[in-house]
A and B are shown apart, each in its own frame.
Chain A
Amino acid sequence: MSEDLVLELKDLSIQFNAKQVLNHINLHVKRGQIIGYIGPNGAGKSTTVKIILGLLDRYQGHVHVFGQDIRHGTVEYKRRIGYVPENGEIYDDLTAQEYILFVGQMYGMDAEIIKRKLAVLLEKFDMKTATHSRIGTFSKGMKQKLLIIASLIHNPDLIFFDEPLSGLDANSVMIIKEMMAQLAKQGKTIFYSSHIMDVVEKISDRILLLNEGEIVADGSFDQLKAKNKEGTLEQIFNQLTGFDQHQQLAEDIVAVIHGDDNNE
């Protein structure tokens, strides 16, 4: 039972410069779920993830990962976590293999096993030729694929994907979506945050909508739909975050662009 509870947030709050970024978040996450974690920019999505990963430590409340309070005890729990960072931080002076070797070994893996796994993974991602190239020379998509590999190489049980599809082509997107579904089926828990509502709508078992530091919606897509009487996640999102002026704003923008053309 307790092993089923992968993540638990109790009254989690944090402030930056007197601004309340997270406001008493409570959350229970069970094994084998894909959780779509959505919200407008600045809602506190990445902050939540950073707290759970131990990147921020000045929070109030409690965070339990695999039943352990992360504030007390060792960092061992991180061995079972995988993370694709929001801003794609990576040591780009290294080659692809060197970086994965570094990350894998940091998770305590054997170098030979990493190399063997990586060779297959790169081939599957159609990046075989880039094995020994400097990451700095990679395209956005290649870098993203490498970050995904780096987050999974140690076979983690809890995975945080922050905008993992950015820069990927349509075919790769399909691979990643299918991969996430299969990983969840095997009992992995995936925390997935994105701004692309269609994808979140389709792949998530459970959707969490965060607005101004509070969870304003929590449930499967069908549950949210029933509750909010809107057709798509995008519409629900707009409704719950109180945004309804997209048409007017777009018209204003087009008018400005057009106006400049006339003047010249």
Chain B
Amino acid sequence: MNESLTLKILDQFAWLFRLLKADYRSLRLIIAFKIKMDHRRVPTIMQGGKQRADPIMTPFVKSLLLYAFYGLFLIPFLISEDSYLLQMMIVFAIMIFILITSMISDFSFVLLDVRDKVILDTKPLDARTRALAKFTHIIIYMVQLTGAFLLVPLVSSLVQGPLFALLFFISIILNAVFCMVITALFYMTILKFFDGEKLSNLINMIQIFLTVGLFIGYQLIVQSFGVVDLSITIDWQWWHIFLPPIWFGAVFEMFLLNNYSLVLIISSVLAVLIPLLSISLYFKWMPTFERNLQKLLMTSHTGKPKKHWWSTLIGRIVCRDVQERTIFTFACAMMRQEREFKLKVYPSLAISIILPLFLLLNLFNPDQGFGGGLSYLYGYFVLLMIPNVVYMLKYSSKANGAWIYKVVPIENRSLYYRGTLKAFFVQLCLPLLSVLLIVYMVMIEFSLFLDLFIILVTACLFTVICHKIFNNGTYPFSASFSFSDSAGAVLVFVAMFVIGIFAFIHFAFTLIPLGLYIYLLVLLIANFFVWKKVL
């Protein structure tokens, strides 16, 4: 964490780099400055010249603490003693999920930094040293991350004896290497086949899908093996051999329980072989990757104007004022096109719709149908994403463009908020809730329409509440994204609390005859009031 400490540790490995025929002096220099820059990754425009943020609690250190907190959840799986294969598989599934998502969200900019080429390649620096410097930089980040995440779990695993802890330690290293290289290889493959603008869009989309996919995948693994009962034995299927968490779980089962079945041996071999193999692939592909990175700088001008009839149509309905409609259209376009915004927001959107559907499907019991008259309450899970997204509305990766707000002759500032929030609601919130509404009506019963409609109206009200809490007075898209500055756990807790209250009121009104109609009316009036007066 401390810059000089990292470098001192790095110095201990100088012999290794010399062995690899790298120019250690240049490499150390690059790493030193890269670390310095990483620790500073805070919005540049908000920073006056010399002032420094708190030197110890940098955003980076804060994010490490959060990972340490996540790590605590692994401990129960580590210290129970039922089935090594299963419990370690869960541990490694969680680990892979956390490491890959953080690699993608926080560290893509290192892999995809196009400045490096112009700045470093023009210096007398051989290709080998440059590649090693990049690799070392990623390793350092990975060590810090896994260190924060897994140090406490590792110590607590000593309960299971030193051999277990040692195995765990080695597996962690292999696993971290695996995650790191897989992410890099993934980018390399993508960059090989696509170029320019399309490529950036694609990377963006895949980042989003991967984040969501890992979430669902994790759910599925947990589901398919029935976590409730840890003593359950796994029914081996041939495709299990393709699941990385199983490789690592197998290592424990094999060494500690002396279970030398063929599958376990193959899996354990894969746990060692695949990470090593992927490293060699990484270095083999790196030069091509660097060359392909240049594609990110090139632009192709073959875009055709797309028609967005949905947002145009709704825009006409919800925005009477011409200026407000202009802002609405602008905000729709920003949300559709700004990649960093999509990256930070879309995964939570997807999860917010998947979660209630998932719970709903879990409820399904062949004997009783979709029982539970309270299933509509799951709809409130969709609202969980609202605070996160509304919070992000004030950010943009090109925040400098915000001067336009002050230059154009629009006096009423609230127009900006109203237009943008409406755009958010129409573009992101409404489609999700509509999908949910249809699913509920088709799969459960038609009468839930009223409940779901109430949730929709609540979402509309909640949007304004969130805006008031998080963004008051900031122009939309006017602040720069900073290092891991997501809405964070605190906001989610606040939001959950408020949503809980809404859900409870909703439930309370169902107990009164015609209560839901009264509640709907109250909500509509409240909506009318806040959109007209408060904003």
> Which A residues contact B (CB, under 8 angstroms)?
16-17, 53-58, 74-79, 81, 83, 85, 87, 89-94, 98, 102-103, 105-108, 130, 132-134, 136-137
Contacts of B29 in A (CB 8 A): 102, 105-106
Q: B3 at interface (Cβ–Cβ under 8 A)?
A: no
Bound-state Cα–Cα, A17 to B300, Å: 11
Q: Which of B37-45, B83-91, B383-391, B438-446 contacts A (4 or more CB under 8 A)?
A: B37-45
Contacts of B119 in A (CB 8 A): 85, 89-91, 103
Q: From A99, which residue of chain B is reached at the shortest CB distance?
A: B33
> Which B residues contact A (CB, under 8 angstroms)?
26, 29-30, 33, 36-37, 40-41, 44-45, 47-50, 114-115, 117-126, 195, 291, 294, 298
Inter-subunit contact A106/B125 (CB<8 Å) = yes
Contacts of B47 in A (CB 8 A): 134, 136-137
Contacts of A94 in B (CB 8 A): 33, 36-37, 40
Candidate in A53, A79, A91, A94 with the most chain B CB atoms within 10 angstroms:
A91
CB distance from B137 to the nearest CB of A (A): 13
Inter-subunit contact B115/A93 (CB<8 Å) = no
Bound-state Cα–Cα, A89 to B122, Å: 12
Bound-state Cα–Cα, A62 to B430, Å: 60
- Which 5 pairs from chain A and chain B are nearest by CB? A136-B44, A133-B49, A106-B123, A89-B118, A78-B124
Bound-state Cα–Cα, A53 to B298, Å: 19
Q: Given A91-B119, A94-B36, A94-B37, verify A137-B124 contact (CB < 8 Å).
A: no
Bound-state Cα–Cα, A57 to B127, Å: 12
Inter-subunit contact B291/A137 (CB<8 Å) = no
CB distance from A3 to the nearest CB of B (A): 19
Which of B41, B122, B195 meets A55, CB within 8 Å? Answer: B122
Bound-state Cα–Cα, A180 to B485, Å: 45
Inter-subunit contact B121/A55 (CB<8 Å) = yes
Contacts of A133 in B (CB 8 A): 49-50
Q: From A132, which residue of chain B is reached at the shortest CB distance?
A: B50
CB distance from B202 to the nearest CB of A (A): 17
Contacts of A75 in B (CB 8 A): 124-126
Q: Given A75-B125, A137-B48, verify A98-B33 contact (CB < 8 Å).
A: yes
Inter-subunit contact A137/B49 (CB<8 Å) = yes
Contacts of B124 in A (CB 8 A): 75-79, 106-108
Q: From A105, which residue of chain B is reached at the shortest CB distance?
A: B29
- 23 pairs of residues in contact across A and B, judged by CB atoms under 8 Å: A16-B298, A53-B121, A53-B122, A54-B121, A55-B118, A56-B294, A57-B291, A58-B291, A78-B122, A78-B124, A85-B122, A87-B118, A90-B115, A91-B119, A93-B40, A93-B41, A98-B33, A102-B33, A103-B123, A108-B124, A130-B49, A133-B49, A137-B48
Q: Given A78-B124, A102-B33, verify A55-B49 contact (CB < 8 Å).
A: no
Contacts of B125 in A (CB 8 A): 75, 78, 106
Bound-state Cα–Cα, A77 to B122, Å: 10
Bound-state Cα–Cα, A81 to B122, Å: 8
Contacts of B126 in A (CB 8 A): 74-75
